[in-house]
Amino acid sequence: MNKKLFALAIVSVASAASAQSSLNLYGVVDASVESVKAGNDTVTRVSSDNLASSRFGLKGTEDLGGGLKAVFVLESAVSTDTGAADTSRFFGRQAWVGLSGSFGELRLGRTDSSIGALAGNSGLLGAQAYDDFKIAKTHAGDKYRRVDNSITYVLPKLVDGLSAQVQYSTTAGAKDVATTVNGVGVEKAGDKTGRLYGLNAQYAAGAFGAGLGYLVAEANDAGAKDKAALAYVSYDFTAAKVTGYYNRSAGHLGLNGARYLYGVRFDVPLASAFALQASVSRASEWKYIRDNADATIVSLKGVYNLSKRTSVYALATTVSNDDASAIAVGGVAGVAGERSSGLAVGVSHKF
C-alpha cells in the first residue's frame, strides 16, 4: 500500500512540474510556383514565403510563482524552395528571453521592431514579397522589420482592447573592418550605428481597430538618422473589412530623403473557408529629392483553407512605375518607368 502511495506521489509531483512549464515546437512551410516580370524580363520559379514566411521555432514558458513567468522564443527562417537555412544567423527571425507578469512583459534579444510588428504581424497589413510594404522597401517591411540587441517592454493591459510596447536597441553591433581579430572585424568602440528607439500602440473594440508605430535609429556613426512612422485604421462592415494605412520612411534615400506609402485594403470573406483580399496603394518619394519617382501598387490575394492548418492560395500584384521609379514584385531588379507584375499559386501549412 505504501509503495502505491509513493508511486502516486511521484506521478503527482511530475505532473505538477510539467504543468508549471511548457515547450512548443511550431512553424510554417510555404511554397508556390510564380512568374515575375520586370520590364521585358520574366522569371518563372518555385519560391518560398509568398503567403507566409517558412520557419520553425521554439517557444516556452515556466511558471515561477506569484504570477511571474519566464518566457522565450527562438525562431529560424527556412527556404522551402531550396531547403536552405539563413546562412548569416541560425535564429534570424527571433531570439529573445524575458519575464512576464502583472507588470507586463520584458524581452531581451532579437525581435520584431515597433513598426515591423505592425506591418508583419498585425493581420491587417503585410510584409511578404507580394505586399506593398516589402515592394516599396519601407523601413517597416525591410530594413527595420526586426532589430538586434533590443530591450522591449510590453505594457500590461490598462484598457480593454489596448496594447502597447516601447523598445530600445543598444546598437546593431557595428563592425570596424579595419580592426580584426583572427581575420574577423570587431565592434568599433563608441559606434552608435543601429541604436534605436521605438514604440507602438494598437486598439481594437468590436469592429473598429487602429494602430500607430514610430521608430528612430542611428543610420551611421556620422549622425545620420533613419526614421519611420506607421498608422492604420480599420473597420469591419461584416461583408468586408476596410483598412486604410499610411507609412513614412526617411533616411534610406539620403539624409533628407523620404518615401511615403499610403493605401487601402479590403478583406472580403466569400465563404467560411475562402477569403479574398484586394489593395491599392501609392509609393511616393519626397518630390524635392526626385520628381516622377512614384509608383502605384495593386494586389489581389485569394486564400482557401483546406483545414485549420493547410491553405492553398493565389496572389497577383502589379506595380506601375513612374519614369524615375524602379520598384518591382518578388525581389527582382526593377526597371525605371517600366511595369512589374507577379503571379503565384501555392500551398501553406502550419504546424
Taking alpha carbons only, the member of 304, 309, 306 closest to residue 26 is 309
- 182 has pLDDT over 70: no
- 288 has pLDDT over 70: no
Residue with cell 469591419: 236
- 287 has pLDDT over 80: no
Return the top range by mean pLDDT from 1-5, 119-123, 236-240. 236-240
Taking alpha carbons only, the member of 173, 154, 152, 57 closest to residue 109 is 152
Q: Which residue did the predictor score with more confidence, 89 or 231?
A: 231
Nearest 5°: the CA angle 245, 248, 253 is 145
Q: 40: which DSSP letter?
A: T
pTM value? 0.86
CA distance 48 to 15: 40
Taking alpha carbons only, the member of 121, 155, 109 closest to residue 52 is 121
Return the top range by mean pLDDT from 6-10, 82-86, 187-191, 204-208. 204-208
Task: Specify the pLDDT at position 86.
Answer: 77
Task: Specify the pLDDT at position 193.
Answer: 79
CB atoms within 10 A of CB 68: 13
Residue with cell 512568374: 35
Q: Are strands 241-250 and 258-269 parallel, antiparallel or unpaired?
A: antiparallel
Instruction: Provide the percentage of residues in the chain whose pLDDT is more than 90.
Output: 73
Q: What is the 3-state secondary structure (H, E, C) of 70-100?
A: EEEEEEEEECCCCCCECCCCCCCCEEEEEEE
CA distance 248 to 213: 11
* Banded model confidence at residue 245, pLDDT cuts 50, 70, 90: very high
Average pLDDT, the chain: 88
- 206 has pLDDT over 60: yes
* Banded model confidence at residue 207, pLDDT cuts 50, 70, 90: very high
Q: Which residue did the predictor score with more confidence, 4 or 321?
A: 321
Domains observed in the chain: 23-176+196-350 (2.40.160.10)
Instruction: Give 146-179 pLDDT, tens digit per residue.
Output: 999 999 999 999 899 999 999 999 875 544 444 5
The pLDDT of 323-349, averaged and rounded, is 94
Three-state secondary structure call for residue 174: coil
The pLDDT of 246-256, averaged and rounded, is 74
- 237 has pLDDT over 90: yes
Instruction: Give 24-69 pLDDT, tens digit per residue.
Output: 999 999 999 999 999 889 999 999 999 999 999 999 999 999 999 9
Q: Are 325 and 336 in contact (CB under 8 A)?
A: yes
What sign for the dihedral angle of Cα 107, 109, 111, 113?
A: positive
Three-state secondary structure call for residue 66: coil
Q: Which three cell numbers stand for residue 173?
A: 553591433
Nearest 5°: the CA angle 147, 153, 154 is 110
Task: Specify the pLDDT at position 12.
Answer: 46
CA 181 to chain CA mean position, Å: 34
Task: Specify the pLDDT at position 180.
Answer: 57
- 3 has pLDDT over 70: no
Q: Which three cell numbers stand for residue 116?
A: 515591423
Nearest 5°: the CA angle 266, 317, 122 is 45
What sign for the dihedral angle of Cα 94, 99, 102, 105?
A: negative
Instruction: Give 214-234 pLDDT, tens digit per residue.
Output: 999 988 777 788 999 999 999
Task: Specify the pLDDT at position 19.
Answer: 53
Instruction: Give 52-61 pLDDT, tens digit per residue.
Output: 999 999 999 9
